[in-house]
Amino acid sequence: MFGLSMKTIYLLIPLSPLAGAIIAGLFGWKIGKVGAHVVTILGVTVSFVLSAFVVLPDVLAGHVFNGPVYTWGVSGNIPMEIGFLIDPLSALMMTVVSFVSLMVHIYTIGYMRDDPGYQRFFSYIALFTFSMLILVMSNNFLQLFFGWEAVGVMSYLLIGFWFTRESAIVANLKAFLVNRIGDFGFILGIAAIYYYFGTLDYGAVFAMAPQFTDKVVQVFPGLDWNVLTLIAILLFVGAMGKSAQVPLHVWLPDSMEGPTPISALIHAATMVTAGVFMVARMSPLYELSETALSVVIVIGAVTAISMALLGIVQNDIKRVVAYSTLSQLGYMMVALGASAYAAGIFHLMTHAFFKALLFLAAGSVIIALHHEQDMRKMGGLKKYMPITFITAWIGALALAGIPPFAGFFSKDMIIEAVHLSQVPGSGFAYIAVLSGVFVTALYTFRMLFLTFEGKPRMDEHALRHVKESPWVVTVPLILLAIPSFIIGALMVEPLLFENYFGDSIKVLAAHDVVAQLGRQYEGLWSFVSHALVSAPFLLAVGGIFTAWLLYIRYPHLPDLISKRTRMVYTILVNKYFADEFNNFVFAGGTRIFGRWLWKIGDVKLIDGLAVNGTARVIGWISAVIRHVQSGYVYHYAFAMILGLFLLITFFLHG
Amino acid sequence: MVSQYILSIAIWLPIVGGVLVLATGGDRNAPLARWLSLVVAVLTFIATIPLYTGFNLNTYTMQFVENYSWIEAFNIRYHVGVDGISLLLILLTSFTTVLVVISAWQVIQKKVAQYLAAFLIMEGLMIGVFSALDAILFYVFWEAMLVPMFIIIGLWGGANRVYATIKFFLYTFIGSVLMLVAFIYLYYQAEGSFDILTFHDLKLGLTEQILIFLAFLAAFAVKIPMWPVHTWLPDAHVEAPTGGSVILAAIMLKMGGYGLLRFSMPILPDASHELAWLMIALSLIAVVYIALVALVQEDMKKLIAYSSIAHMGFVTLGFFMFNAQGIEGGIVQMISHGFISGALFLCVGIMYDRLHSRLIKDYGGVANTMPVFAAFMMLFALANAGLPGTSGFVGEFLVILGAFQVNVWYAFAAATILIFGAAYTLWMYKRVIFGKVVNDGVKTLTDVTAREILFLVLLAVPVLVLGLWPFPFLDVLHASVEHLLQQVSVSKL
């Protein structure tokens, strides 16, 4: 295109948002608000257009690129490079990331209109886009970690964007530190790969991996672990941090303190799915370790169901969507654990669209109500905000998994895949994801009904000012609603059953549940008609019906239920007391221990006893010795006589 | 040819320049003293650049060597030269001194000439330490360098400066004396030579090696500083003026690490292996214990000082992994820490100059009044937390890679720095920079001046370049580190 080589195009895709970010960040004061959003949107548009209309078709035509950009460093003769791997998996991710990012950029013009940090915000989200693209385009573990940490930092900066709010700066520190716990495992996983494989290049590592199936490492004396299991689990710890899996999920709900556009972009559509992407990218490693797959599926299943339950009791509209994201990330992990990587990535994609949509719709409501997020003060908004209302419905139907909306296909595929999976833990996971369907539909429609249906519960003043959001907000909603509607039906066949991913995802024949599904699959229409009588669909409809009963038909019921089930309700409202536990045990415990080491170890023992003690002992000895030099002649005379006496004794008896 | 004398120029230009600055006399001539110092510092930096550009990457042998007889009677020689390891440290020294001169421009108003002269003279002596190839020459530079530092802390320091100076002096002096004893022993073993490269080839028994190793360790461990002889550092930093802290953290701590590489490991390979457990244990204690102590500090300078100790623990850990990643990672960590800790001390200095407090609780919401400053400090804080793309990551990453090859658990303990390093740095940042303006002091803060921006940019550039492209830095090290690994792997028994 335009006579550019493909390599130049690959470079342009991440670098154009970077250029936008630098210009908006350093010269934002000069180019003004319009200048800032123009340069960054231009940059992201370039990324999107090139990804979707140049790279994606090129990859579909069978051109895979894997090559270095520059050598980062060499140590011990092993070069570490920065480079790109452009294959179906990365091309799909690039397209999704740049599209959602572009929508969020446009939306931000409306959402952040009056914010004094306007230019800074655009600079950050463009820089985030750059980081995320670097992450997905990487062909090696080093660059993966670069992107991984860079998106983490951008998330940190954006959660704390309103840095005068105490809740925001607590949340961003928490997010960064919890992610760092994940990265702690991740970097050890990378170190393990470097040690055993002697390279950080994906291709080389994947090619060698099958030779390592019998290799063990002694973790403790007497406890040997398979090397690949160790590596896969260490890497997964990183994924648990980034993709907020239990018990490292605690940062994500709090990240809602950031402005809504980034909740949509970073904490729903893109960054939090990095863990899912990473595990799918590492499928050649995970496939070789049943134990690791089992860990993935169990952690994913626990996250999917436990976080969905929390969504039911939240009153903050953004937090409902946040818990929903946690739960859906659990679904994706379950798919990966069942070796249905394609289904996991498929759900990642559909989720990116409909979840970004739901967040932006929530944001649209929030601005209409002047930054009110409590659903108890909403209601009846459908007639004031028709576009937001309709697009939110589409998002909700997609999330609940109602055919033919996008989420239906991807979620159904996951459930079917888990059903077929033989991995230890898949039985539990099946129950979890199945019951999760009911809960998902329930909290989704609870949110929808509380917000848009019923009587308005906000005060008179707020109600008078409610109006539909400007076009910069509604256009992205519409543009996201379209894929939320159709992308599932459109992509289910090519992505899952026509070998779209090719060599970018490897599945052992014994694990290949997607292929088994493919053999049962008899075209779109029969798939949908089968699904209409299947358990997931009935559960989803049941969930919606329950929500209708509770929040429209008998609105006094929820209070009654929560009073009757006091204990369950308390546990859910307090989010299983995970924050309290962490604050008390980890944050508090570490500080107490640190203070103890300082006051006892450094101040008392080393300085007090060893250093000043030595000084004191020397002082004391000199004080004693000083007495000997009294200056009195008879003292010296006595000492001489004593010495003489001792010497004579020594010589006589010696 | 001038190129034969580059090292001597780099050593003596700042010393002579320092004496000249001293000659400008009282504070009436302060502007002259400042400009003269800046010219000398910049010229010295320029003089050290050919060391890099003219450096031969393919050999481990010493380059830019000068070797003359100095004290005939004891065969003490003026013998200097550089390899890859010392080269980077010399460049770091000459670069940092320029920044220190700029940073003192307005802050120091009393005894300006003396202050700047002390730094210039110290610069020459430090370059001498990194290039000396004769043990006595090394020792002279090593000890002489302490004098200007005492003066800097003692004259321009804070309230408790006398206690800090004496503590600093006693600690470092006792260690150095033992090192001198070891040098004299080696002199007799080498049949009357103080040549360091000759020491490298000496045959030594295991007991001898262990005793000498411990004697060296006494000197080097105090400088680095390693746990448990580290407590002088936080005190010295708290009392030192900003420039003193910068040089202390950026360069002086590195002399201990350099000593391990130049003396302990190549001269005493068997003892190095024999006592590796001790070095690793002390390093890991530094990484974990000190990080926890850093977390609860109330004084920003103390916090950064403890953070320095933890990061230097990474350096020594890397060295005693005895592999390329570990040693190169350790060296890169030393360089990177020079930039980052220097930058953080300058950041604290910038705030201190305005509010005269280093206590975290006296700040809050600084970003409201000093947004540009907040952005710079964010970069350096993230670099201190080891963010990829900044220099802080490179060393940590390589050391973790190196440690994993030796023992999974070493890597495990070392990697906790990812969590704790971020925790203490960013928690401090949160309390100081983020939030609402907490008091009238913070409300009156003015953002960084052009001069302050200048030195912050000068530090931000190497932090980012080294992080994004460490290749040229690592490239210089390969031949020397390979040779060192060779030396330390061959037993002398």
pLDDT tens profile A504-519: 888 888 888 888 888 8
Give the whole-angstrom CA distance, residue A416 versus residue A424: 16
Report the 10 Å Cβ neighbour count for B436. Answer: 12
Give the whole-angstrom CA distance, residue B79 versus residue B195: 8
CB contact under 8 A, B324 and A163: no
- The whole-angstrom distance between B475's CA and the closest CA on chain A is 7
CB contact under 8 A, B292 and A590: yes
- The whole-angstrom distance between B231's CA and the closest CA on chain A is 7
Backbone angles phi, psi at A199, to 5 degrees: -160, 160
ipTM, 2 dp = 0.92
Q: Is the pTM of this model over 0.90?
A: yes
Does residue B205 sit at the A interface (CB-CB below 8 Å)?
no
In DSSP notation, B197-237 reads HHHHT----HHHHHHHHHHHHHHHHHHTTPTTS-THHHHHH
Rounded to whole angstroms, what are the CA distances from A610 to A65, A425, B225, B279, B387? 62, 56, 16, 20, 37
CB contacts < 8 Å between A and B, how many?
133
Amino acid A3: pLDDT: 66
- For residue A581 the two structure tokens come to 């536990």
Burial class (CB in 10 A: 0-12, 13-18, 19+), B163: exposed
What are the pLDDT digits (tens) for A210-223? 888 888 887 777 77
What residue of A is the nearest CA neighbor of B470? A73
Interface test with B, best of A145, A237, A598 (most B CBs within 10 A): A598
Q: Which distant-in-sequence residues (6+ apart) come within 8 Å of B2 by Cβ?
A: B9
pLDDT bin (cut points 50, 70, 90) of residue A1 is low
Given a cut of 80, whether residue A441 has pLDDT beyond it is yes
Amino acid B1: pLDDT: 52
Contact A264, A184 (CB under 8 A): no
Give the whole-angstrom CA distance, residue B264 versus residue B221: 11
Q: Which distant-in-sequence residues (6+ apart) come within 8 Å of A482 by Cβ?
A: none
pLDDT bin (cut points 50, 70, 90) of residue A114 is confident
Rounded to whole angstroms, what are the CA distances from A151 to A124, A131, A148, A242, A265? 10, 6, 6, 9, 11
Which of these ranges, A233-242, A645-654, B67-76, B484-493, has the smallest mean pLDDT? Answer: A645-654
Given a cut of 70, whether residue A545 has pLDDT beyond it is yes
What are the pLDDT digits (tens) for B13-33? 999 999 998 888 777 888 888
Interface test with A, best of B57, B289, B296, B323 (most A CBs within 10 A): B296
CB contact under 8 A, A146 and B426: no
Which portions of chain B are predicted below pLDDT 70? 1-2
CB contact under 8 A, B292 and A70: no
CB contact under 8 A, B435 and A74: no
Given a cut of 80, whether residue A632 has pLDDT beyond it is no
Interface test with A, best of B317, B396, B427, B434 (most A CBs within 10 A): B434
Which of these ranges, A302-316, A629-643, B233-247, has the smallest mean pLDDT? Answer: A629-643
Q: Which B positions 431-470 lie with beta carbon below 8 A of chain A? A: 433-436, 468-470
pLDDT bin (cut points 50, 70, 90) of residue A613 is confident
Amino acid B86: pLDDT: 93
What residues in B contact A145, CB-CB < 8 Å? 388
What residues in B contact A160, CB-CB < 8 Å? 434
Amino acid A644: pLDDT: 80
Burial class (CB in 10 A: 0-12, 13-18, 19+), B341: buried
